[in-house]
Structure 1
Amino acid sequence: MTAIQNPTAAAAAAREPGRNTAPSKPVPRHRRRTWPQIAESIAKHSVLIVLSVVFLMPLFWMVTGAFKTQADIGAFPVKWFPETITTGNFSYGLATFPLLQYFWNTLVICVPSMIGAALSSAMVGYGVSKIRWPWRNGVFTILIATMMVPFYVTMVPLFVAYRDIGWTGTYLPLIVPTFFGIPFFIFLMRQFFLGIPEALSDAARIDGAGELRIFIQVILPLCKPALAAVMLFQFLASWSDLLGPLLYLTKSSQYTLSLGLTFFQGAQGDTAVGPLMAVSTIILIPIVVLFFFAQKTFIQGITMSGIKD
């Protein structure tokens, strides 16, 4: 069976050149931890708990505020839990906020963007990690250096360029650039590819496969965790993006969830804090569900991208 027919088995064989037949060593007993070690563990967990509370506090305030009355939200001292649970905020928010329309507009941007980011970053990452050509490390260094250039530096030139070619007022400026590679995702994919043994791609070349066939049939099936991490990162970025839609979208019928929520907040003023929190809670649900089901693959892709054989 060739490497192209079964890349997973070939990868396992490449990583395990021989089977260790030596008898296993006895498992040592766990040593009893000393008091300094216990104190250090308590201190670390205490810091993690405090940081978790700090980061989760805004989320908790938003979710509970969605079920509070306006009096409970503005009460002082602060009421952390609603005295009277109400669903009126959801009714009012859904009646005045075109959620389904904005949700569809956001998906129109998110789905193509995450596909384009994953494919382009994987192709470039493969080119600078597995294909031997002059100056590949220099080109990769230049790509990574572009990460230090803030978006605000290129914001105006990009807007002028997209305006001149007639892309303003469309979703194209928010989708097309992802198909040309994103430096951070290229770095992520390259690090993952470096963890794949060279013997695997060399075996495929001996079988007569070209680089494109090796990439599609051998490498891509092995990098599903990294691709999932890239797609999740890009989906979250497009889902929560505010500046991009604010720059390029000109009609209210094109608004995304983030942009529509901003104008909903501005139009209603301080009297609609409850409905604003209710709509924000609804918008957050798909992200939580997505991360809940994809967290194992996401974490695996991030951790394996730091492994280099």
Structure 2
Amino acid sequence: MSIRSIRPRRVAYHVIVTVFALFMVYPILWLAVSSLKPNDDIFSTAYSLIPSRIEWANYISGWKGFAGTTFATFFGNSLFLVVLSTIGAVATSALVAYGFARTEFFGKGFWFGCVMMTMMLPHDVTMIPQYVMFAKLGWLSSFKPIIVPNFFATPFFIFLTMQFIRTVPRELDEAAKIDGCSKYTIFFRVILPLIVPAIVTSAIFSFYWRWDDFINPLLYLNKPELYPVSLALKLFLDGESLNNWGGMFAMSTLSLVPVVIVFFVFQKYIVEGISTSGLKG
């Protein structure tokens, strides 16, 4: 194949990819630019990415929050929920995955099938039974219904981690047993260091899901001072007064900052974790 025939294809490929990238990035650019527009110009000049004047006051008014509760509290609540939920989901899922991948027990296939079937259940099916259960436990208007379930493993993370553990040679387990290691020692000293990409990938997915979660805080949190960012943004839309669109877009832009930072810092782990490459020579 000649160079002349290759270059047009490469140019066409990069042009197409650039166009699709612009379509995907445009909503984020529009959000960031709208956060700097005066409230009256946000929708009157909706298609323009150049504000008539920069309105930094949107960030000041948005950060003030509501009824004496600033967005520092909302961001703190989100981080508290995300960190604890992520630790619980990733740690317990890794242990369960290790049990399924390395331990033989009665009904192993049946129980693994049950775990996988729970991935097919829509959240709407389990939402009401969970709400009734947490109401009887007296956990409403607290973080417990959002955090505690994550300490009982997540099916997707179990499956993802199992795929990595299966690529680890069993000879390493046998060698560790000869040295007197127990199953838990083998997991923490042999298996865990080799499945770091799966662990990090699970943590990233958990971070994204919990940070964007809206329905669970809406169900269980009844006090504004307990709201995470995802739920607090809704407070800007007050049907009885003028909506503070500028403040809402400003705080929405700030809420994207942790997500963007996590993505760029751990991008290589996302690719490696999804591809389940396992051990490398």
Q: TM-score, normalised on structure 1?
A: 0.82
Q: Distance in 1 between matches of 2:269 and 2:136?
A: 41
CA RMSD of aligned residues (A): 2.4
Structure 1 residues 41 and 187: alpha-carbon distance in aligned structure 2, compared to 1, 3 A threshold: farther
The one of 170, 177, 186 aligned to 2:158: 186
Instruction: Kindly indicate whether the alpha-carbon contact (under 8 Å) linking 2:236 and 2:247 is maintained by their aligned counterparts in 1.
Output: no
1:194-236, Cα deviation, whole Å (9 max, x unpaired): 1211211121122222211111111111112211111111111
Aligned to 1:294: 266
Report how far residue 34 of structure 1 moved: 7.5
C-alpha deviation, 1:248, in angstroms: 0.6
Matches within 5 A, 1:1-309: 32=2, 35=5, 41=10, 44-76=13-45, 78-97=47-66, 98-266=70-238, 271-304=243-276
* Structure 1 portions without partners, runs of 5+: 1-30
Tell me, yes or no, if the aligned pair for 1:191 and 1:308 is still in contact at 8 Å. Answer: no
Residue 65 (structure 1) shift: 0.5
Deviation at 1:129, TM superposition (A): 1.2
Which consecutive residues of structure 2, in runs of 5 or more, have no partner in the other structure? Answer: none
Q: 1:71: how far off?
A: 3.7
Letter of the 1:278 counterpart: A
Q: Provide, for residues 43-79 of structure 1, a one-character-per-residue CA deviation record: whole Å limited to 9, x for no partner.
A: 5544433332222111111001111123432225732
Separation of aligned partners in 2, 1:135 and 1:41: 53
Equivalent residue letter for 1:79 = S
Tell which deviates more after alignment, 67-76 or 43-52: 43-52
CA contact (8 A) 2:146 2:217 kept: yes
- 1:146 & 1:308 partners in 2: Cα distance? 32
SS in 2 for 1:74: helix
**Equivalent-residue separation in structure 1 for 2:206 and 2:219 (angstroms):** 19
Contact 2:236 / 2:245 at 8 angstroms: preserved in 1? no
Moved more, 288-297 or 169-178: 288-297
**1:298 and 1:242, CA in 2 relative to 1: closer, same or farther beyond 3 A?**
same
Q: Which amino acid aligns with 1:72?
A: D
